[in-house]
Amino acid sequence: MAKKVVKKRSEADPFPKLVEQMLRLLGENPKREGLLRTPVRVAESLRYLTEGYRTDPKEILHEAVFREPYDEMVIVKDIEIFSLCEHHLIPFYGKAHVAYIPNGKVVGLSKIPRLVEVFSRRLQIQERLTTQVAECLMSVLKPKGVAVVIEALHLCMCMRGVKKGDAYTVTSSMLGAFRRDARSRSEFLSLVRLKREE
């Protein structure tokens, strides 16, 4: 049986050195006890939070597409999202609600949260994230329609700038039947009633 080889990161990895330099520029001493491993931790953390760049989102869906005559709305709601704002590298987090109306094909339900995760694990703005999820589903499944709503709290607004800790941002992308048909759109929105409205 072949032995699994686990590659260690090269000692020449420049990322921790860059974080160490940043700490110095902030006025800190990266050699003090509490910060000794911070450069490595930050490097590992940022790589994890941006691992979506190293995953093809369409491949996730292609693995679990099945022919099925079901033609009613499919909704996966309250999908937790965590992402980094590309303007400040500060997190935003919240919930995504995703629906599609099949057109002869369905996708494994677990793949929808996985798709959201891949796009959210990139430097993002919420508007783009919403559109990317919707367009990817539309491209792979060719359904009658796709709807995506994301509600999120942006720490760049809470911690700096306007400092509004309760200002949620809500974005939506409605494609196909959800854009054309007000009844489908209304049904989706009523079924995913935003948590803060309950």
Q: Are residues 67 and 99 in the same domain?
A: yes
Q: Is residue 9 part of a domain?
A: no
Q: Are residues 127 and 36 in the same domain?
A: no
Q: Is residue 84 part of a domain?
A: yes
Q: Is residue 117 part of a domain?
A: yes
Go through the chain and tell me how many residues it has.
Answer: 198
Nearest to 122 by CA among 172, 49, 60: 49
Q: Are residues 132 and 90 in the same domain?
A: yes
> At 13, is the pLDDT very low, low, confident or very high (cuts 50, 70, 90)?
confident
What range defines the domain where residue 41 resides? 15-49
> At 12, is the pLDDT very low, low, confident or very high (cuts 50, 70, 90)?
confident
Q: What CATH number does the domain containing 124 carry?
A: 3.30.1130.10
Q: Is residue 82 part of a domain?
A: yes
Domains of the chain: total: 2
pLDDT value, residue 163: 67
> pLDDT digit string (tens) for 145-159?
999 999 999 998 888
> pLDDT digit string (tens) for 47-64?
999 999 999 999 999 989
Do 5 and 29 form a contact (C-beta atoms < 8 A)?
Answer: no
Query: What is the percentage of the chain residues whose pLDDT exceeds 90?
Result: 83
Q: Are residues 149 and 61 in the same domain?
A: yes
Do 94 and 129 form a contact (C-beta atoms < 8 A)?
Answer: no
Residues 6 or more apart whose Cβ sits within 8 Å of residue 13: 43
Q: Is residue 135 part of a domain?
A: yes
Q: Are residues 32 and 64 in the same domain?
A: no
pLDDT value, residue 1: 43
Nearest to 145 by CA among 182, 111, 115: 182
Q: Are residues 45 and 65 in the same domain?
A: no
Q: Are residues 68 and 150 in the same domain?
A: yes
Catalytic residue numbers read 85-88, 126, 154, 156
Q: Is residue 198 part of a domain?
A: no
Do 144 and 153 form a contact (C-beta atoms < 8 A)?
Answer: no
> pLDDT digit string (tens) for 61-74?
998 999 999 999 99
